[in-house]
A and B are shown apart, each in its own frame.
Chain A
Amino acid sequence: MIGKVFRFYYNGFRSMTWGRKLWRIILIKLFIMFAVLRLFFFPDLLKRDFSSDEERGNYVLEQLTNP
């Protein structure tokens, strides 16, 4: 069963004509998004700067009460 599913996908990708260009675009796009933008420009700041939910909550509470 797993072999059949694998062959289905494998043959599908191999027989692509116009779709190959699309896959290249998808892969480049995902690379830019996750390996460049996410890594260097878009960290999850609350996760990065605080180690617990309590600290995160306190930080946001401070922001909300002393804007």
Chain B
Amino acid sequence: MFESIDMSLVDWSRGQFALTAMFHWIFVPLTLGLSFIVAFMHTIYVRTGDEEWKRITKFWMKLFGINFAIGVSTGIILEFEFGTNWSNYSWFVGDIFGAPLAIEGILAFFLESTFVAIMFFGWNKVSKRFHLTASWLTAFGANLSAIWILVANAWMQHPVGTVFNPDAARNEMTNFWDVIFSDVAVNKFLHTVTSSFLLASVFVIGISAWFLLRKREVLFAKRSTVIASMFGVIAAIATIATGDTSARIVARKQPIKFAAMEALYEGQTHAPLVAIGAMRTDTTKLPNPREDFIFKIEIPNALSYMVFLTPSGFIPGITDLVYGNTEQGYMSYEEKIERGAVAIQTLKELKKAKERGDEATYSALREKFSDPVWLDEYYKHFGYGYYKGRELKELIPNVKLSFYSFHVMVILGGHFLIFSLIVLWLSLKNRWGNHKWLLWVALITLPMPWISSQAGWVLAELGRQPWVVYELMPTITAVTRLKPGAVQLTFWIFLATFTVLFIAEIKIMVTQIKKGPGGK
């Protein structure tokens, strides 16, 4: 299958979507996290009446505003792309995406446009308590609006609460609560939000360190650091805990992604966790090509323990999953491809029977799509059917990228926890700022949460390839048959627009930071 498709179209469409999503994700986590830090600072001001806390709140609110303004609605471009570049996909998932995104749009519009305005314009215009309520509602509103897009993404990773309608060629929601409360959705939301809180904490600590290095606004910088480091420690612990749960979920729901994350080819009990390693590609081994380690440092038993809470748990490797392991109960991809092909053929015959008005055949085939046994045996593997006659390696995610993005995220996550603990401890002892080198570490650490956050998304999205909807719809069938040149053109337009916007954000932010909390 797919003989007719131009692979450069798929690559450019994916590149365009990745560019847009990654650009959007520069702004979102800072908005999510900084909104809560501002609300905390605002609360302290209202409770103490201390004017310094007002200055602190206003300064960080200003940076929040800049980030919010530049970033707002960049996500809408993703919706444009769904309709143009991914029309098959957006039709296939329509109802699932439609409801959460509609709720997001309404919530975001009402909460953000109302309460953000009160937050910014409300100084001395509304009562202190109402103003503070607006700050908190802005924070909750921004974070709540993130739920819906994350629920939609979680459904793509683990489609539940829906049924496929073969007449309409689309999935229909059967249980809203199953969709929003699936373990993938709940954990994805918690991990994303807590890591965003961590990102904002590191941002505040880093900017405050810059003031301390220049010996400017020392009280402002120290107070900001105390709040951010407290917030950061809690957020780092929560991020690590939700990340651990996330890994366990991935191991069960997307075992090939989990195996790729660790570059584990041969399944085993007492599986070690690779703490750090570097890889090279070996083209002589199967699945071909295969990534081998140049060097690695392992923690014995840790991978099995992480997933099963016992070292004797069996972790399947890429080979077990691709070629099957009957002893451990893993079906081979060849078998899944055969079953998927049956499901596609059934859909094709149903379409033909409907077109020629063959009611008896149509009814018999239509019934299969509501038979739980047939759905479990065949439709569950629908997406694999598209790989009949193609190389099995196309069903394996990029191992190197998955491995490195996972390890970059985890190593940086560990750094943020240790860093936040040190900053908090020194701040509470009123010794933060005494060591110049630590302030430099804070400044150097400032961009790192963006790297780890983007790495997390790279792992989530590239690690589940070749699927857009896990095991049901491959990326290759989701794409609209456009001319690659048209997609290339919009890719470059986006790159230019985003670069200008990014430069504008940095320039405006740096100007306002340089002015400090006293600047207009």
Contacts and interface: CB of A to CB of B under 8 A. Distances in A.
B520 A18 contact: yes
Contacts of A19: 65, 69, 120
A13 B121 CA distance: 8
A18 B520 CA distance: 7
Q: Among A45, A58, A64, find the residue whose CB has the most chain B CB atoms closer than 10 A.
A: A64
B69 A60 contact: no
B81 A42 contact: yes
A45 to B, nearest CB: 5
A56 B91 contact: yes
Contact of B167 (A25, A57, A62): A57
Contacts of B92: 60, 64
Contacts of B76: 33
Given A19-B65, A53-B168, A44 B83 contact: yes
Contact of B73 (A30, A43, A61, A65): A30
B99 interface: no
A17 interface: yes
Contact of A29 (B73, B170, B386, B480): B73
A31 to B, nearest CB: 11
B120 A44 contact: no
A33 B77 CA distance: 7
B169 A57 contact: yes
Interface residues of A, number: 39
A25 B501 contact: yes
Contacts of A9: 117, 121
B476 A44 contact: no
B5 interface: yes
Contact of A61 (B80, B125, B169, B520): B169
A17 B497 CA distance: 25
The binding surface of chain A is classed by DSSP as: helix
Interface string A33-67: 10001100111111100000100111011111111
A12 interface: yes
A8 B121 contact: yes
Given A44-B84, A57-B168, A57-B169, A25 B91 contact: no
Interface string B58-83: 00001001100110111011001101
A57 B215 CA distance: 65
B157 to A, nearest CB: 20
Contact of A60 (B80, B91, B125, B493): B91
Q: Among B77, B80, B120, find the residue whose CB has the most chain A CB atoms closer than 10 A.
A: B80
Interface stretch (B242-250, B344-352, B411-419): B344-352
Nearest to A15: B121
Given A41-B490, A57-B170, A67-B386, A25 B70 contact: yes
A46 B66 contact: no
B386 to A, nearest CB: 6
Given A45-B84, A63-B88, A8 B125 contact: yes
Given A65-B347, A67-B2, A43 B125 contact: no
Contact of B501 (A29, A30, A57): A29
B507 to A, nearest CB: 10
B187 interface: no
B168 to A, nearest CB: 4
B492 to A, nearest CB: 11
A20 B488 CA distance: 34
B477 A63 contact: yes
Contact of A46 (B81, B83, B125, B168): B83
A52 B94 CA distance: 15
Given A9-B121, A37-B493, A60-B170, 16 more contacts: A12-B120, A12-B121, A17-B520, A18-B512, A29-B73, A29-B74, A41-B489, A41-B490, A45-B480, A60-B88, A61-B169, A62-B351, A64-B92, A67-B2, A67-B4, A67-B386
Interface of B: 1-2, 4-5, 62, 65-66, 69-70, 72-74, 76-77, 80-81, 83-84, 87-88, 90-92, 117, 120-121, 125-126, 166-170, 344, 347-348, 351, 386, 476-477, 480-481, 486, 489-490, 493, 497, 501, 504, 508, 512, 520
Top 7 A-B pairs, shortest CB-CB distance:
A12-B121, A44-B83, A42-B80, A22-B69, A65-B348, A61-B169, A57-B168
